[in-house]
Homo-oligomer: A and B are copies of this chain.
Amino acid sequence: MNATAAVLYEVKKPLVVEEVEVLEPQAHEVLVRWAANGVCHSDLHVMTGDVPHPLPVVLGHEAAGVVEKVGPGVESVKPGDHVCSSYIPSCGRCRYCINGEPTLCAHRDKPRWFMLDGTARFRKNGRPLHHYLQVAGYATRSVVLEDGVIPIRKDVPLDLACLVSCGVLAGAGPVINRAKVPVGASVAVFGCGGVGLNSIQAARLVGAGKIIAVDVNRKKLEWAEEFGATHVIDASKEDPVAAIHTLTGGGVDYAFEVVGFQETVEQAFLSTRRGGMAVIVGICPAGTRLTIDPMLLVQQRTLTGSSFGAGHQRTDVPMLLDLFMAGKYKLRELISRRLPLAEVNHAYDLLQAGEVKRSVIVY
């Protein structure tokens, strides 16, 4: 069978949108007809070469769709079910999953661009194409692991649901799961794009006190206020670390870095109080190294990070969709643009220009 897919053949070159062949799902695999996939910086890092990846690859890892067919042994979903993609499949049986850390599942020890048997389900002219993060959501259909789909309620539009498959949970999860921000705590969020806005609205949701948004883009700071920031700092105009220490009298309880630059990670850490915590969400270019003063750690600051929300993706995704349906969590307001797959390269131009919260590619 065939799909239309956006394929990266060479870094720093546009994606090629073309027909590709899709093989049948094998044991514990699922064929999904994707309805939408969000436009995320992680794909951009592969496109620019900042994060090296085997090529060619079908990108996209923030998808939602409808199960079309299941392979042998699949029991958790059936054709017609609505699903979000999980770019970190979780097996439920490894030391990490059993320990309540399914975002660290042992599946990650295998190559994350193939099925578990080490082969691809895409072909172009007989040549295999890699599956980005075992999702490959920039295709009208792809084969994914049964462990890599999350069943969701059917009353959420799929072009909204797809956002929860990465950006929403990646941004909200660190607040809810990693920091477990308590009521009244002070929070700083570095980076107010399509992921950071979710850290901000999660902080609002859990009742944080001061919610300080930091960015260099005036428009993003306005979005931050719409999503719940109580204070904004334009880091192109003033030193955010000094400003945060002044605002909080000694540093924030929790800082979230949602950019992926050495400088902003270090600033986030420096903006915490003694005993405070900085959580890295952004993906820095490969080879980045942080420069950290160990005395700040000995003063019981914590520096940590989050993969896909650092929680329990199979329950967190439905939970966030329930919050959305209950009117407690903004999804519609996250979307700036809906574009067809043919315009995927344009969507990344808009992302790089800082012009959008989140764009969604719809099929």
Contacts and interface: CB of A to CB of B under 8 A. Distances in A.
A88 B295 CA distance: 15
Interface in A81-108: 96, 99, 101, 103-104, 108
Consensus secondary structure, chain A interface: mixed
A51 to B, nearest CB: 9
Contacts of A327: none
Contact of A280 (B108, B289, B298, B310): B298
A61 B141 CA distance: 67
Interface string A103-129: 110001100000000000000000000
Interface string A264-308: 010000000011000011011010111111110111111111110
A294 B99 CA distance: 23
A160 to B, nearest CB: 26
A288 B293 contact: yes
Given A300-B310, A304-B301, A292 B290 contact: yes
B295 A101 contact: no
A105 to B, nearest CB: 9
Contact of A299 (B104, B265, B284, B295): B104
Contacts of A280: 294, 297-298
B104 A275 contact: yes
B299 A307 contact: yes
Nearest to A109: B250
Given A101-B275, A104-B275, A274-B96, A304 B297 contact: yes
Q: Most chain-B Cβ atoms within 10 A of its Cβ — which of A109, A275, A302, A306? A: A275
Given A274-B108, A301-B305, A288 B294 contact: yes
A294 B305 contact: yes
A217 B13 CA distance: 55
Nearest to A291: B289
Nearest to A100: B275
A182 to B, nearest CB: 10
A301 B302 CA distance: 10
A298 B174 CA distance: 11
Contact of A297 (B103, B275, B303): B303
A284 B292 contact: no
Contact of A300 (B295, B298, B307): B307
A166 to B, nearest CB: 14
Given A275-B101, A275-B104, A307 B303 contact: no
Nearest to A265: B294
Given A104-B275, A290-B292, A303 B300 contact: no
Q: Which 5 A-B pairs have the closest CB atoms?
A: A297-B305, A298-B305, A302-B304, A290-B292, A104-B274
14 contacts: A96-B274, A104-B274, A104-B275, A104-B300, A284-B294, A289-B291, A290-B291, A290-B292, A292-B303, A298-B305, A298-B307, A299-B307, A300-B305, A304-B304
